[in-house]
Structures are given as C-alpha cells and as structure tokens.
Chain A
C-alpha cells in the first residue's frame, strides 16, 4: 500500500499548489460567490431600469397604444435611452441566465441533462445578447419613409 503524498501545512510545495487560478483551499473557484453577489447588485440596478422602462412605455402618454416604429425611433434618438436599454439588456440577460443556471443545477439531476440544458441556455443567451446589442447600435430611424425626425429630413 502506498501512502498518498500530503504536503506539510504552510510548506512551499503546498503554497505553490494553492496559488494561481483564483482557487481556494478546497480547489474550487469563487465563481459561486461572485455569482451570488452579481445577482444582488444587478437586481438592484434592474429594479430602477425595468420599472423606469415600464413607466415610460406603458404609463406615460398613450401607453401601449402609442408603441410603434416611430416611438422606438424617437426614444433611441436620445443617447440616454440607448445606454438605458443597452444596460438593461445586458444586466437582465446575465441576471436571468444566471438564475436559470441555478435552477437547472437544482432540478436537473442527471449530469447529461444538466450539461445539455445549460449548453442550450448559454447558446440562446449569447444569441439574444448579441442580437439585441447589434439592434441598438445599428438602428436606422430613417428606414421609416414618413419619419419626421430631423436626422432624416435631408
């Protein structure tokens, strides 16, 4: 029988093996800690971003009846709303993806099922975040021939 090699506490070999990779003593990263903290910080920001979004789009003016291409064009003519929507998109998608990851880890018991569900989740999330970001940055208000925005009146 061979005795497993266990380094002395505080010996140099042990210190080296614990260093790097952001890993703690049990050989795990702090990923779950940062994810827990991110849910709380992004959640706080999202309360303001999402409730502000709902108030401006559904409560002010004509509410849902006023929503059309011109409404979006008018909003995104203002850099404040571009930044607002971009932040909301990224934070909400990361917050939601991380939440579904936690739920998948809790309820999908088979390794295979868990792996494929998370692969699907992450793929879908990347597609949506990239698409949404491109839409905000490449939006062209003058696609609408009847646009009354000053940028289109040339």
Chain B
C-alpha cells in the first residue's frame, strides 16, 4: 500500500520536474548565455541537494515500476512481491550511494 502511494507521489514530482527541465533546455534556442545562466542555478548547493532528492525519487519509481511489471506479468510475481520489494531497496541503495557521493562532491567542489 505505501509503495503504491510512494509510486504516485514520486511520479507526480518527476513529471513536474520534467516540464521545467524541457523549458530550461529550450533556452539553447534562445542564446548560449541564457542557457548557461539558467543551467548555472542547477549547480547551486541548495538546488544540488534537491537534485539528490530527484534522483532518489527516479530510482525508486524506476525499480518499483519493474517490480509492478513482474507482479503483473510473471506467474510467480505476486508470490515473490515482498522479496522483490527488498530487491528494490537493495538496488536503490547500490545505485543511490555512489550517485550521492559523486554528485555532492561536484556540487560542493570536492
């Protein structure tokens, strides 16, 4: 149940970021200076921390989504859905930890 709620919340959050991200990328058609200035805000430490949250949400949504597909299409999916939930957590940690270390060292100039 909570994973279903979290899937919806992360999905909505990612969608609104996507709208903004297409708009900021569209500035490459305006001028290099306009694009560089706006993309520069993504390098700000506060926004850098929000990006960590965004990637956390994307990784959960991606691997929980794969779990949902397996529950729907794999004959044994419903029986193993609990174990697969643990698998989602493991894959999430394995990908998220290296990302946080690397991204924050970029953002905070390590």
Contact = CB atoms under 8 A, between A and B. Distances in A.
Contacts of A72: 25, 28, 35
Nearest to A106: B8
What is the predominant secondary structure among interface residues of chain B facing chain A?
A: helix
A44 B51 contact: no
On chain A, which size bracket covers the interface? 35 or more
B12 interface: yes
Contacts of B22: 89, 128, 131-132, 135
Contacts of A40: 68-69, 72-73
A47 interface: yes
A63 B66 contact: no
B62 A58 contact: no
Contacts of B102: 58-59, 63
A68 B99 contact: no
A144 B32 contact: yes
Interface stretch (A3-11, A15-23, A92-100): A92-100
A149 interface: no
A63 B42 contact: no
Contacts of B18: 92-93, 96, 128
A139 interface: yes
A70 B35 CA distance: 10
B62 A51 contact: yes
A128 B48 CA distance: 24
Contact of B29 (A51, A93, A138): A138
A50 B62 contact: yes
Nearest to B61: A43
Interface string A25-48: 000000000000000100110110
13 contacts: A47-B66, A54-B58, A62-B106, A64-B51, A65-B43, A65-B106, A69-B28, A96-B11, A96-B18, A99-B8, A99-B12, A128-B18, A135-B25
Interface of B: 8, 11-12, 14-15, 18-19, 22-23, 25-26, 28-29, 31-32, 35-36, 39, 42-43, 48, 51, 55, 58, 62-63, 65-66, 68-69, 72-73, 95, 98-99, 102-103, 106-107, 109
